[in-house]
């Protein structure tokens, strides 16, 4: 199948059959994020054809993403963008709607019909950390460094990262990581559940491709049902989760046996 590329501000989308690769393409600024990049990431999610089963998030250069472009907090701001200093003066409804629009770049990675994989090298700071957390799975180079620096700047993580962080490492550890802003290296990330696998930087592309191949080997509908079961498990009690398992399995059995009929 032919490969198709699209590019927006700092983001390139490549679709090759069932795999979409989203690449951050601003290595000269360590892939620092801007509202334009967030709009581009949102557009990339909307542009995915229905045939895509796996979305891979990569970055050019030595860093995955160094976080929010600090120019956003200067009076001059970023060319063509509203300065965050001006945004802070907006009415409550406008401010809420603007932040919600930023969050859209981070939410589509969690769709039940899609498996998402972040390939992380170098720094994943603040918004970069939250973008890695937006994905279902994370493969990290040994030089990866995660840090949530928002609190030290007087802010909070607001791009959808708090929920997956707590789900992955627990409340106490998530609070400590956010409150201190310290760096979490690749080895610790693997130990505490942030990283699914750590490899050398040279091995990162091949290891990511291997994981993608393994995900594609599973039947799509079974993977969708399993992801939905696991994502909802934390919010269900044991009996409710067992009921959800039964319902999902019934759907799979009937799909696999079209001639099966329901008992009266």
Helix (H, G, I), strand (E, B) or coil at 23: strand
DSSP summary character for residue 75? S
The set of residues, in sequence order, having a beta carbon less than 8 Å from that of 205 and lying 6+ positions away, is 119
8 A C-beta contact, residue 198 and residue 186: yes
DSSP string, 186-249: HHHHHHHTS-SEEE-GGGHHHHHHHHHHHHHHS-HHHHHHHHHHHHHHTTS-HHHHHHHHHHHH
Give dist(CA 261, CA 45) in Å, integer.
Answer: 38
What pTM, to 2 d.p., does this model score?
A: 0.93
pLDDT in the model for residue 81? 85
| pLDDT given at position 108 | 97
The closest of 59, 61, 49 to 20, measured between CA atoms, is: 49
d(C-alpha 18, C-alpha 177), whole Å: 36
Q: Each residue's pLDDT tens digit in the chain (264 positions)?
A: 567 799 999 999 999 999 999 999 999 999 999 999 999 999 999 999 999 999 999 999 999 999 999 888 888 888 888 788 888 899 999 999 999 999 999 999 999 999 999 999 999 999 999 999 999 999 999 999 999 999 988 999 999 999 999 999 999 999 999 999 999 999 999 999 999 999 999 999 999 999 999 999 999 999 999 999 999 999 999 999 999 999 999 999 999 987 765 554
Contact 96, 62 (CB under 8 A): no
Confidence (pLDDT) at 258: 77
- Phi then psi for residue 199, to 5 deg, are -135, 170
The DSSP letter of residue 257 is -
| Max CA distance (Å), the chain | 70
**CB atoms closer than 10 angstroms to residue 4:** 12
Q: Using DSSP, state whether 39 is helix, strand or coil.
A: helix
- pLDDT computed for residue 264 by the predictor: 43
pLDDT, position 2? 60
């Amino acid at each position: 199948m032919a490969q198709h590329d699209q590019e927006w501000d700092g983001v390139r989308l490549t679709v090759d059959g069932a795999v979409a690769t989203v690449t951050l393409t601003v290595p000269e600024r360590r892939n620092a994020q801007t509202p334009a990049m967030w709009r581009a990431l949102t557009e990339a999610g909307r542009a995915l054809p229905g045939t895509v089963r796996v979305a891979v998030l990569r970055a050019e250069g030595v860093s995955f993403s160094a976080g929010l472009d600090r120019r956003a907090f200067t009076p001059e701001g970023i060319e063509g963008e509203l300065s965050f200093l001006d945004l802070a003066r907006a009415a409550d409804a406008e401010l809420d709607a603007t932040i919600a629009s930023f969050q859209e770049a981070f939410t589509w990675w969690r769709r039940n019909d899609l498996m998402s994989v972040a390939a992380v090298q170098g720094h994943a700071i603040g918004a970069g950390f939250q973008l890695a957390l937006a994905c279902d799975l994370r493969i990290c180079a040994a030089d990866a460094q995660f840090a949530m620096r928002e609190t030290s700047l007087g802010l909070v993580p607001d791009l959808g990262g708090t929920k997956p962080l707590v789900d992955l490492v627990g409340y106490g550890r998530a609070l400590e990581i956010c409150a201190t802003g310290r760096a979490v290296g690749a080895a610790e990330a693997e130990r505490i559940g942030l990283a699914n696998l750590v490899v050398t930087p040279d091995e990162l592309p091949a290891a990511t491709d291997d994981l993608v191949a393994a995900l594609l080997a599973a039947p799509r509908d079974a993977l969708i049902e399993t992801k939905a079961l696991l994502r909802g498990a934390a919010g269900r009690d044991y009996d409710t989760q067992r009921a959800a398992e039964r319902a999902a399995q019934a759907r799979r059995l009937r799909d696999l046996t079209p001639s099966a009929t329901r008992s009266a």
